[in-house]
Amino acid sequence: MNHGALDVVRAGALTTVQDLGRYGHAALGVARSGALDRPAHRLANRLAGNPAGAAGLETTLTGVAVRAGRALTAVVTGAPAAVRVDGRPAAWAEPVHVPAGAVLDIGPAASGVRSYLAVAGGVAVPEVLGSRSADLLSGLGPAPLQDGDVLPLGEPAGPPVHTDLPPWQGPPGELVLPVMLGPRDDWFTPAALRTLVAGHYAVSPRSNRIALRTTGPALERAVRRELPSEGMVVGAVQVPPDGRPVLFLADSPTTGGYPVIGVVPERHLAAAAQAVPGLPVRFTLVR
């Protein structure tokens, strides 16, 4: 056991190292990456006494278990889940003391999709292009965790913080995504725009860190010709040949060849990070 590290006991379905992402490299084809639920990631770091950009772990549905090589403070936020230290129940969304050698276990998400684990000092894997985030599309950064991995830790920067504010409002009955039209909304028929706001969509099981995919009615194209690849942004709503809207998330490509009917402002993307398959999706238009 490494005394300055976390040993991965149970990696979970998909657990990755994430910080706030890597910026300024889109011209090289490098996505931003970073935590999908940025508010939850920031909250975990704040409660653990870390800077906002410290790296932590993002879990997917099934949680993770790690063994502490040293005594440390840990915080779990995002999707609510059972937290245990050596089998004993511990607090969620509050600083938790983990003795050296103890196993911190984050169970399956009770609601939502992604939980966030911050430990005092942060996860100190090497930076790649200024970030420790895993990018699943390009393969940059550390690979998704596997059982037996060892994660180095940094030095604590400050004391933990306690809060009385509720960090989780509960999952919504539907995912509401405000869309600013453009740049290619004129490639779709007026009927397609009506379908976008009135159609019954849901989160597809094919969703991932790259994009939230939807099931539902197809959007009819007015322009049939091919579109040369052009720049993409996080939050872009792209419409592939099957006509179902796709919402680009943190690991999305920086260019694409299908028309973008609109863009969802970034402050609404954290909800998409916690949207379970089958959750109803409603698009609204904003000016």
Q: What is the mean pLDDT of residues 97-108?
A: 98
Assign 118 to helix, strand or coil. Answer: strand
Other CB atoms within 10 A of residue 8 CB? 20
Q: What is the mean pLDDT of residues 211-228?
A: 96
Question: What pLDDT, in 10s, does the model give residues 46-71?
Answer: 999 999 999 999 999 999 999 999 99
What residue spans in the chain does CATH classification 2.40.100.10 cover? 175-286
pLDDT at position 4 is: 85
Residues in the chain: 287
Q: Which fold has domain 175-286?
A: Cyclophilin (2.40.100)
Task: Look at residue 283 and tell me whether its pLDDT is greater than 80.
Answer: yes
Reported as a pLDDT band with limits 50, 70 and 90, residue 170 is low
CA–CA dist 244, 86 (Å, integer): 45
User: In percent, how much of the chain has pLDDT > 70?
Assistant: 97
Q: What's 147's DSSP letter?
A: T
Task: Look at residue 3 and tell me whether its pLDDT is greater than 70.
Answer: no
The phi and psi torsions of 44 (rounded to 5 degrees) equal -60, -45
pLDDT at position 180 is: 98
Average pLDDT, the chain: 95
Task: Look at residue 166 and tell me whether its pLDDT is greater than 80.
Answer: no
pLDDT at position 287 is: 78
The phi and psi torsions of 6 (rounded to 5 degrees) equal -105, 130
CA–CA dist 60, 161 (Å, integer): 25
Sort strands 255-256 and 103-109 into parallel, antiparallel or unpaired: unpaired
- Contact status, residue 18 vs residue 273, Cβ threshold 8 Å: no
Q: Where are the alpha helices (DSSP H) in 131-200?
A: 190-198
Token pair of 235, please?
């939050």
Q: What is the mean pLDDT of residues 139-162?
A: 96
Sort strands 246-248 and 211-215 into parallel, antiparallel or unpaired: antiparallel
Q: Strands, DSSP E only, in 95-189?
A: 96-98, 103-109, 115-119, 150-152, 175-181
CA–CA dist 222, 185 (Å, integer): 10
pLDDT at position 61 is: 97
